[in-house]
Amino acid sequence: MPLPPLSQLCRQLGHQYKDLLLLDRALTHRSASGHNNERMEFLGDSIINFLMSHALFQRFPKANEGELTRLRTQLVRAETLAAVAQELKLSQFLRLGAGEIKTGGAQRSSICADALEAVIASIYLDGGMQACEKAVLPWFEARLERLSAENFSEKDYKTQLQEYLQKKQWALPIYEIMHTTGDAHQRLFCVTCTLPDCEYTVEGHGSSRRYAEHNAAELALQWLIGQGKKNG
C-alpha cells in the first residue's frame, strides 16, 4: 500500500519544507534503510527539550528549577511524544521494513516517539530554530495550557521515596541495573531498588534506566506505605 504524499503531512506539521528529503529521512526507520532517522532522532531529542524548557521558562516565571524540570518531564517523555505523533498521524507516513510492518511497528509507541523527534530535527535543519519553534509549539499547546501550579506539587516517585526515608532517618535507596533486553530501538531495562534498613529489594522495569528506576521507586514506596498500615 503506497504512502500518502508528504505534502499532506507538511500541512499537518505546519511547515513547508525547502528540502523534502529531510522529512523523508526523518520518517525512515532503520528497519527500512541504512539511511534512516537515528541521527536526526538524536538531534531532535535535544531540540524538543530546549523548546519545552523555553516555553515553560516563559509561562511560569515563579517556578524554580526542580518544578520546571518536573513539568518538562511530563512534556518530553516517550508516552507524550508518541501521543503527539499519533495526533499528527505520523504513523501513516512512516517508512518501515517488512518485518516491522507485519508486527504493527507503525503503531509502536517507541517508533512513533523517535520519529517525532526526527521530524523536529528535520524542521530545524530545513528552516532553523525559529521555524522549528513556530511549527512545534502548537503541537504541544493544549498540554502546555493544562499545566498549572498544581503540577509543581506532583513529585516523582524517586523524590517521594527519598523524602519518606529521610523523614524516618533511614538510609537512602540503592538503584542497580540488573539487565537489559531487546533491540536498541525497543530496549527494556530491569533495575532493582534496595532499601538497606528494611532489607527489602524490588524490581522495576521501563524503556530507559530512568523509567525503570521510577517504576522500582513506586513499588518500593507502595510496599513501605503498606508496611506502615500493617504496623499501625
213 is catalytic: no
Beta strand 174-181 with 200-206: parallel, antiparallel or unpaired?
Answer: unpaired
Per the residue annotation, which of 41, 67, 114, 117 is the catalytic one?
A: 117
Which cell numbers in the block locate residue 14? 505546519
Per the residue annotation, which of 45, 67, 100, 114 is the catalytic one?
A: 45
Which cell numbers in the block locate residue 32? 527500512
How far apart CA 109 and CA 73 sit, in angstroms, is 17
114 is catalytic: no
Q: Which residues are catalytic?
A: 45, 117
